[in-house]
Amino acid sequence: MQNRQGWIRILVVALVMSGCAVRPPEAPVEPMTASVELEGSPAMALLQRAESARQQGQGAAAERYLERALNIAPDSSWLYRELADLRLSEGDARGAEGFALKALRLAPDHDDYQASLWEMVATARDRQGDRDGARDARSRAAALRNPVARPV
Amino acid sequence: MAKKTNKTPARSRGQAQRKKSPSRKKSAAPRRRWFSWAFVAKLSLVLLVIGAAGLAYLDAMVRERFDSHVWQLPARVYARPVELYEGRVLSREDMLKLLDLMRYRRDAAASTPGSFAVQGSSLLIHTRGFKDSDGGETPKRIRISLSGGQIRNLDAGGDGLARLEPLQIGSIHPQHAEDRVLVPLEKVPPLLVDMLVATEDQSFYEHHGISLRGLARAMVANVKAGGLVQGGSTLTQQLVKNFWLTSERTLSRKLLEMPMAILLELHYSKQEILEAYLNEVYLGQDGARAIHGMGLGAQFLFGRPLEELEPHQLATLVALLKGPSWYDPRRRPERAMERRNTVLRVAMEEGALSKADFDKYSARPLEVVPRGASALYAFPAFIDLVRRQLARDYPPEVLSDEGLNIHSTLDVLAQLASEGALQEHLNNRDPGEKQKLNGAVVVVAPAQGDVLALVSNRNSREAGFNRALDAQRPMGSLAKPAVVLAAVREPKQWSLASLVEDGPIQVKLPNGDVWAPQNFDKQAHGAMPMVDVLAQSRNQATARLGLDVGLDKVAKTMETLGVTRKVPQYPSILLGSLALTPFEVAMMYQPLATGGFSTRLRSITDVLDKEGKPLARYPVSTDEVVEAGPAFLTQWAMQQVVEKGTARSARAYLPKDLKVAGKTGTSDDFRDAWFAGFSANHLAVVWVGRDDNAGAGITGSSGALPVWARLMGKLPQRSLSQTPPNGVEWVWMNPDGQRVSAEGCGDARRFPMMEASIPEDTDGCGSVKQSGKGIKKWFKGLFD
């Protein structure tokens, strides 16, 4: 009974989708950048300082800048992403995972960005030897990269 | 053994007698030989050798100690630097309070670091600069406009950021109590050196360690007084005394002092000797802490760096040298003033100060800051926390000697607000001499885990028992959010709308006792939604819920939240029989405040060496311990405690639209009053009770909540997010808690619901559109 209903629903969806197919494709989504969250915020200046400290190999200074930036913009997903990335580059996979998950919690509705965060989680889990966790994170990333295959 | 002792005296007596008799006979001959020239020559040689050896020893001692002398510099603890940026919530009043605490002085042009000017609606501030792990700040002049309780405009050059240097809030010397602030000679005001030389040792630049002129003058004075009243010591001799010898005025000391002073001058320049003197000299006592050196003296007396002192203040420091206790400007202001003016006059006579300046500065008051007004040692409870943290990572001698700079997380304004709120409330409730109630406050920035304030005593300047860290008390109803969280983590069974029976409940314990909790009002309210159980803090319903969910799961949830003590699986833990310290409660509530992310609480961010080079960081780290959905639901339920539950009286102190959450707690016999609650950026835990653990007649609502509300009302707050995470939806529910309803339908209420909790059934009122669940379920059916 339920199965038959399911088939009927798929039929309905297929019809609707065929309608969509002739519509022009949607405009590409703007890539997620720091300025989406931090434009005009003093935290942006600190983020830039952190980036240049990192380029000069000053990890501790970069981290301090990012912590200061978070005090100013505490809900910025991007700043947590930066911290996760910093931790990953410093070999602290556990710390990176925590920050990446926090970044995901605060992330705007942006599939590619969220996928990149899940990929970061996957890398961090891999490095901690958490194969199952990494696989789960990767499949979430894949689903976001390819929304058609995305389970509801 | 006993035999031996009887015989020995007899034999020795006999031997002595035998030896004595010949010497008596020939007594004249050896005496004559005593004075022979040969003997004198030999003796002179021996003395010369001994003298030379002694001198060589002294020389080695002087050089070894001076060369290798490492100043014992205790670790210094600083509050968090004050970050300034446009849009920051900061009232003009608080800004001025900060400048005052940091002893910024008013100066129309803000010409030097540590000064500021009020210019209309803006402030011109000349910051002092400091070192930090990100490089820190150089001193600079900034212009800041404050209005409407925030920074409207900041002109700081560069990328528009500025920080005020962190306020020093203490130093750590676990082994001994010697304290100093090292100042290199090039940073010492030249006038101080001029005054010092003029009053203490006018021939300093000419003599070679000792001054015969000075000695003669002292001897005359001593003869007149009939005893040792003046040393006639040069600065070099005084340094020797401070460095190597005791302060006793004995002849032997004097005899050692002179050759050592000469040796010191032989090896070291006047500049080196001066620098050592200025940093070593003893200037007084602050309780158990000995004040050494002009740098610390400046801070101790005037609350400012030495470089910022004015001539009359420098003169006060020089005045102290003659007798730190006798001329103590706090206890003996008249004497100190007289001596200070003598120093100023001598400086004028020696050409170091103009007549006009003499007139000007000798008319100034002493301007010493009152003892205890300094931020140093003002926050003993917090410093205690820092000390405990440091002791885990650094050996005591490193902390006492190496001049580490510790950057802490303390927020001075949050600390002062917490102290004020606790004191004000307890003075109202428990006035008079015999104070029985005391309390503790912990304030944390939940996202980063920074401890912003820690109060452990209603008289917050008093050190002693650290209630915030060590008073372990039953947490009472503070445990209830953990019961709710454990329930909503099983969304197929429970939602916040689920009805729970509030009525008599009895549990037979393994030892045969019966546990039968009572409600606070001794009444049973019947079935009620879980959210109301929490908001109204119903004991019997919570007990029933917790037992249904499972004690093991509740205990596990408490541990997940950060309770590090073993949580026993007794039913009484559901109502908070577990005893925690206020700090541990803050740890447990921190993940509730951040939507499920656990962050280690930290009191230190950075450790720098004495030159300001970064040594270690204590970085933020965070772990997801509770899933987004259940965390959001629990936080929302805790908001209802403040909106319409046992903490609604707090609303009067808070901005109207601010969304905060929390929980009251009261232990048996009204011994402990708790409130733990948070906004998006501040988590505060308040405990009030008695040290003797007697009944205090207080509840969480009456005893602790007012402190929390007052202090939260004084700090800039951000609302908790009302946007549900993925997997949570707002749903109108029928009062039966089992059917979806719609807005405006009878007594329907709106709840955040985990998708798995949303019932299929509706009560037929309104449409199902409101949940969105129907459509989602419909799509989900495609793949089932």
Is 80 exceeded by the pLDDT of residue B115?
yes
Q: Is B595 on the interface with A (CB under 8 A)?
A: yes
Structural domain boundaries, residue A136: 93-146
**Mean pLDDT of the B58-83 span:** 82
User: In what helix (H) or strand (E) does residue B548 lie, and over which residues does it extend?
Assistant: helix B539-549
Is 90 exceeded by the pLDDT of residue B41?
no
pLDDT of residue B288: 73
Instruction: State pLDDT tens for residues B365-417.
Output: 999 987 765 655 578 899 999 999 998 888 887 887 788 999 999 999 999 99
Q: Which CATH class is domain B75-167?
A: alpha beta
| B25: confidence class by pLDDT, cuts 50, 70, 90 | very low
Is 70 exceeded by the pLDDT of residue B98?
yes
Q: What one-character-per-residue DSSP string does B4-54 give?
A: HHHHHHHHHHHHHHHHHHHHHHT-HHHHHHHT-HHHHHHHHHHHHHHHHHH
Phi/psi for B362 (5° steps) reads -75, -15
Is 60 exceeded by the pLDDT of residue B777?
no
Is 90 exceeded by the pLDDT of residue A77?
yes
pLDDT of residue B397: 79
Per-residue DSSP letter, B328: -
Q: Do B621 and A98 touch (CB under 8 A)?
A: yes
Q: Is B784 on the interface with A (CB under 8 A)?
A: yes
- Contact between residue B275 and residue B184 where contact means Cβ atoms under 8 Å apart: yes
| A19: confidence class by pLDDT, cuts 50, 70, 90 | very low
- What CATH number does the domain containing A114 carry? 1.25.40
Residue of A nearest to B628 (CA): A105
Query: Left, alpha or beta for B255 (phi > 0: left; psi -120 to 50: alpha)?
Result: alpha
Interface residues on A facing B, Cβ-Cβ cutoff 8 A: 2, 5-6, 9-10, 13, 41-42, 45-46, 48-49, 53, 60-61, 63-65, 67-68, 70-72, 74, 83, 94-95, 98-99, 101-102, 105, 151-152
Is 90 exceeded by the pLDDT of residue A111?
yes
B 68-87: CB under 8 A from A: 83, 85-87
More confident residue, B470 or B371: B470
- State the nearest Cα–Cα gap between B778 and chain A, in angstroms: 8
Nearest to A70 among B133, B448, B778 (CB): B448
Closest residue by Cα to residue B673 from B699, B644, B639, B646: B699
Please give the positions of B annotated as active site.
200, 477
What is the value of ipTM here, to two decimals? 0.83
Q: Do B784 and A99 touch (CB under 8 A)?
A: no
Residues recorded for chain A: 152
B64-69 long-range contacts (CB < 8 A, ≥24 apart) are: B65/B243, B65/B244, B66/B243, B66/B264, B66/B267, B66/B268, B66/B276, B69/B243, B69/B276
Instruction: State pLDDT tens for residues B270-302.
Output: 999 999 999 989 998 887 778 889 998 998 899
Instruction: State pLDDT tens for residues B713-725.
Output: 999 999 999 999 9
Instruction: State pLDDT tens for residues B420-456.
Output: 999 999 999 888 778 889 999 999 999 999 999 999 9
**Mean pLDDT of the A4-8 span:** 56
Residue of A nearest to B81 (CA): A68
- Contact between residue B754 and residue B727 where contact means Cβ atoms under 8 Å apart: yes
Closest residue by Cα to residue B665 from B702, B695, B711: B702
Domain B171-362: homologous superfamily in CATH: Biosynthetic peptidoglycan transglycosylase-like (1.10.3810.10)
Q: Is B726 on the interface with A (CB under 8 A)?
A: no
Q: Is B621 on the interface with A (CB under 8 A)?
A: yes
Distance CA B21, CA A121 (A): 103
Q: Bridge-partner residues for B687, per DSSP? A: B440, B674
- State the nearest Cα–Cα gap between B77 and chain A, in angstroms: 18
- State the nearest Cα–Cα gap between A25 and chain B, in angstroms: 23
Residue of B nearest to A14 (CA): B782
Residue A77 is encoded by which pair of tokens?
A: 């997903």
Could you tell me the pTM of the whole model?
Answer: 0.83
Is 70 exceeded by the pLDDT of residue A22?
no
Q: What angle do CA B723, B728, B729 make, to 5 degrees?
A: 75
Q: How many CB atoms sit inside 10 A of residue A14's CB?
A: 10
- State the nearest Cα–Cα gap between A22 and chain B, in angstroms: 22
Q: Looking at the domain assignment, is residue A112 inside a domain?
A: yes
Q: What angle do CA B503, B505, B508 make, to 5 degrees?
A: 180
pLDDT of residue A5: 56
Residue of B nearest to A4 (CA): B782
Count of CB pairs separated by less than 8 Å, A with B: 91
Mutation target among A68, A81, A109 for the B interface, most CBs of B within 10 A: A68
Distance CA B375, CA B113 (A): 19
* 3-state SS, residue B103: coil
> A54-58, A69-73, B215-219, B301-305 — which is least confidently predicted?
B215-219
Is 90 exceeded by the pLDDT of residue B542?
yes
Q: Which residue has the tokens 């005025």?
A: B249
Q: Is B342 on the interface with A (CB under 8 A)?
A: no
| B170: confidence class by pLDDT, cuts 50, 70, 90 | confident
Cα atoms in the Cβ-side hemisphere of radius 13 Å centred on B149: 5
Q: Do A105 and B622 touch (CB under 8 A)?
A: no
Is 80 exceeded by the pLDDT of residue B778?
no
Encoded amino acid at B721, one letter:
S
Nearest to B776 among A13, A94, A152 (CB): A152
- State the nearest Cα–Cα gap between A41 and chain B, in angstroms: 9
Instruction: State pLDDT tens for residues B126-150.
Output: 999 999 999 999 999 999 999 999 9
Q: Do B621 and A48 touch (CB under 8 A)?
A: no
- State the nearest Cα–Cα gap between B780 and chain A, in angstroms: 6
Distance CA B86, CA B314 (A): 38
Q: Looking at the domain assignment, is residue A119 inside a domain?
A: yes
Q: Do A63 and B617 touch (CB under 8 A)?
A: yes
The 3-state secondary structure of B722-742, one letter per residue: CCCCCCEEEEEECCCCCCECC
The fold adopted by the segment(s) B467-714 is Beta-lactamase (3.40.710)
| B12: confidence class by pLDDT, cuts 50, 70, 90 | very low
- Contact between residue B194 and residue B350 where contact means Cβ atoms under 8 Å apart: yes
- Contact between residue B393 and residue B610 where contact means Cβ atoms under 8 Å apart: no
Is 60 exceeded by the pLDDT of residue B31?
no
pLDDT of residue A148: 66
- State the nearest Cα–Cα gap between A9 and chain B, in angstroms: 6
Phi/psi for B752 (5° steps) reads -80, 130
pLDDT of residue B159: 86
Residue of B nearest to A70 (CA): B448
Nearest to B622 among A5, A68, A102 (CB): A102
Q: Is B527 on the interface with A (CB under 8 A)?
A: no
Q: Looking at the domain assignment, is residue A2 inside a domain?
A: no
Q: Which residue has the tokens 């019947």?
A: B526
Encoded amino acid at A81, one letter:
R
> A43-47, A114-118, B72-76, B605-609 — which is least confidently predicted?
B72-76
pLDDT of residue A1: 45
Q: Do A70 and B781 touch (CB under 8 A)?
A: no
Q: How many CB atoms sit inside 10 A of residue B92's CB?
A: 19
pLDDT of residue A24: 52
- Contact between residue B312 and residue B367 where contact means Cβ atoms under 8 Å apart: yes
Q: Looking at the domain assignment, is residue A137 inside a domain?
A: yes
Mean per-residue pLDDT of chain B: 87
Q: How far apart, in Å, are the Cα atoms of B365 and each of B41, B301, B334?
A: 65, 13, 10
Residue of A nearest to B773 (CA): A152
Q: Is B134 on the interface with A (CB under 8 A)?
A: yes
- β-strand pairing of B289-292 with B178-180: parallel
Nearest to B135 among A13, A61, A102 (CB): A61
Domain assignments of chain B as residue spans, ordered by start = 75-167, 171-362, 467-714, 733-783
* 3-state SS, residue B234: coil
Is 90 exceeded by the pLDDT of residue A149?
no
Percent of chain B with pLDDT over 70: 89
Q: Do A152 and B132 touch (CB under 8 A)?
A: no
- β-strand pairing of B168-172 with B75-78: antiparallel
Q: Do A152 and B780 touch (CB under 8 A)?
A: yes
Residue A122 is encoded by which pair of tokens?
A: 């996957």
Q: How far apart, in Å, are the Cα atoms of B307 and each of B81, B192, B295, B595?
A: 21, 10, 9, 48
| A4: confidence class by pLDDT, cuts 50, 70, 90 | low
> B61-70, B87-96, B98-107, B285-294 — which is least confidently predicted?
B61-70
| B51: confidence class by pLDDT, cuts 50, 70, 90 | confident
* 3-state SS, residue B763: coil
Is 80 exceeded by the pLDDT of residue B534?
yes
Is 60 exceeded by the pLDDT of residue A55?
yes
Is 80 exceeded by the pLDDT of residue A6?
no
Q: Is B680 on the interface with A (CB under 8 A)?
A: yes
- β-strand pairing of B282-286 with B115-119: unpaired
Burial code (b: 16+ CB inside 10 Å, e: under 16) for B475-492 equals bbbbbbbbbbbbbbbbbe
Q: Is B628 on the interface with A (CB under 8 A)?
A: yes
More confident residue, A138 or B700: A138
> B124-138, B538-552, B687-701 — which is least confidently predicted?
B687-701
Q: Do B448 and A151 touch (CB under 8 A)?
A: no
Q: Which residue has the tokens 């445990």?
A: B479
Distance CA B281, CA B200 (A): 13
Q: Is B681 on the interface with A (CB under 8 A)?
A: yes
Distance CA B310, CA B493 (A): 73
Q: Is B619 on the interface with A (CB under 8 A)?
A: yes
Q: Looking at the domain assignment, is residue A111 inside a domain?
A: yes
pLDDT of residue A43: 95
pLDDT of residue A25: 55
> B62-71, B155-164, B611-620, B623-632 — which is least confidently predicted?
B62-71
**Mean pLDDT of the B490-497 span:** 97
Mutation target among A13, A90, A99, A102 for the B interface, most CBs of B within 10 A: A102
- β-strand pairing of B105-106 with B115-119: parallel
Encoded amino acid at B309, one letter:
L
- Which residues in chain B touch residue A105, judged by CB atoms under 8 angstroms apart? 595, 597, 624, 628, 725
- Which residues in chain B touch residue A118, judged by CB atoms under 8 angstroms apart? none
- Contact between residue B767 and residue B742 where contact means Cβ atoms under 8 Å apart: yes
pLDDT of residue A30: 82
Q: Do A64 and B776 touch (CB under 8 A)?
A: no
- State the nearest Cα–Cα gap between A47 and chain B, in angstroms: 11
More confident residue, B251 or B143: B143
- State the nearest Cα–Cα gap between A150 and chain B, in angstroms: 12
Distance CA B541, CA B562 (A): 25
Question: What angle, 0 to 180 degrees and rounded to 10, lies between the N-to-C axes of helices B551-561 and B539-549?
Answer: 100
Q: Do A63 and B621 touch (CB under 8 A)?
A: no
- The domain tally of chain A equals 1
The 3-state secondary structure of B329-366, one letter per residue: CCCCHHHHHHHHHHHHHHHHHCCCCCHHHHHHHHCCCC
